[in-house]
């Protein structure tokens, strides 16, 4: 049952990972299938920004995807629990989101593309997962917990709002707030403007050339995971590449944040944020303090890069 929402109040639902671990895996793989279509059609943008999804008022969307002379748009609708494919000629196909196998979802998705006159050809292998099974061969039956998926999306809505506000406090190069379907995390990244040493690579099922292009320049990055990948709970994360000396020992906020030595990143449990008197302030404290630690220790030109957080209807002051 959908949780009742209070008008005008940001919703921070409970999203314990163990309760929907397998449903999360199923959803993750479905986003990878759709994401691989976008990846195959879009011209490459720095740091793989052309392949991501964005939080929408109904779920997760691709934005316009060029396909030859056509344009399509994909949206995972977590209110109706379906993947909607919309073409520029008005054609629409809707695939139900539910329990089943990725092999069946993959075939249904390719069929829907073909019926819309789109190109149903794209790489059919998952990325950034250990022991990946090609989509067409993944016949494992997995659950789909509608309530858990909707709670996860409601959390993303609240987090996306805070991340987009944090994004406004930087005059340098900064990424959109977007969801990477490979690692299944919502992320926002700031850049110093300086090149970085080549990344060592080694991410499962991801070509090293892609990783090295993603980390071609110095970054301070933050994001949110629903769980998995070394964490058994939903959490916020923050890291720097390259990691400056002293980063792990930096003082960051809020008090529940800590440096995870196995991950090499700062972590803030989602539950600590959800229970905070002001969740948005708690997230902003984490984002700002971890960024400041990374930038100061690496010697970024913060006087030129930083600015006040943006406000609706107020232009930036002239320099």
pLDDT at 318 over 80: no
Dihedral angle at the C-alpha atoms of 264, 36, 18, 143, nearest 10 degrees?
A: -170
The string of DSSP letters for 95-121 reads EE--SB-HHHHHHHHHHHHHHTT----
pLDDT over 70 for what percent of the chain? 97
Across residues 167-194, what is the average pLDDT?
Answer: 98
CA atoms of 203 and 146, how far apart (whole Å): 31
Element containing residue 33 per DSSP (H, E): helix 17-41
DSSP letter at 186 equals: E
Residue 1 pLDDT:
38
Inform me whether the pLDDT recorded for 270 exceeds 50: yes
Half-sphere exposure of 139 (CA within 13 A, CB side): 1
Confidence of residue 229 (pLDDT cuts 50, 70, 90): confident
pLDDT 10s digits, 234-245: 999 999 999 999
* pLDDT score for 26: 98
Place of tokens 């022991």: 131
Please classify residue 78 by burial: count the beta carbons closer than 10 Å to its beta carbon, then call 0-12 exposed, 13-18 middle and 19+ buried: buried
- Contacts of residue 264, Cβ cutoff 8 Å, sequence gap at least 6: 239, 243, 248
Q: What is the per-residue pLDDT for 317?
A: 77
How far CA 269 is from CA of 64, 235, 264, 293, 312, in Å, comes to 34, 4, 15, 19, 30
Helices H, strands E: what count in the chain? Answer: 7, 11
Q: What is the pLDDT of residue 319?
A: 60
What does residue 121 show for φ and ψ, rounded to 5 degrees? -115, 125
């Amino acid at each position: 049952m959908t949780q009742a929402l209070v008008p005008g109040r940001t919703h921070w639902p409970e999203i314990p990972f163990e309760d929907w671990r397998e449903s999360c895996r199923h959803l993750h793989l479905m986003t990878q299938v759709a994401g691989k279509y976008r990846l195959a059609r879009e011209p490459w943008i720095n740091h793989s920004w052309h392949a991501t999804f964005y939080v929408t008022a109904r779920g997760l969307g691709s934005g316009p995807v060029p396909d030859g002379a056509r344009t399509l748009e994909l949206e995972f609708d977590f209110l109706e629990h379906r993947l909607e494919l919309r073409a520029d000629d008005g054609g629409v196909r809707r695939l139900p989101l539910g329990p089943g196998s990725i092999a069946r979802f993959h075939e249904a998705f390719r069929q829907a593309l073909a019926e819309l006159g789109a190109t149903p050809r794209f790489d059919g292998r998952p990325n950034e997962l250990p022991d990946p099974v090609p989509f067409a061969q993944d016949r494992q039956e997995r659950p789909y917990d509608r309530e858990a998926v909707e709670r996860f999306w409601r959390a993303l809505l609240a987090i996306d709002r805070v991340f987009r506000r944090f994004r406004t406090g930087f005059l340098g190069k900064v990424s959109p707030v977007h969801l990477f379907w490979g690692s299944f995390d919502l992320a926002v990244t700031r850049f110093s403007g300086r090149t970085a040493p080549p990344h060592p690579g080694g991410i499962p099922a991801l070509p090293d050339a892609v990783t090295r292009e993603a980390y071609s320049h110095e970054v301070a990055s933050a994001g949110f995971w629903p769980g998995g990948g070394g964490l058994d709970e939903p959490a916020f994360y923050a890291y720097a590449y390259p990691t400056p000396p002293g980063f792990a020992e930096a003082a960051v906020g809020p008090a529940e944040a800590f440096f995870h030595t196995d991950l090499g990143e700062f972590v803030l449990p989602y539950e600590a944020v959800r229970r905070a008197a002001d969740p948005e302030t708690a997230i902003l404290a984490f984002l700002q303090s971890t960024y400041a630690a990374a930038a100061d220790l690496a010697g970024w030109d913060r006087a030129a890069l930083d600015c006040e957080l943006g406000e609706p209807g107020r232009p930036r002051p002239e320099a």
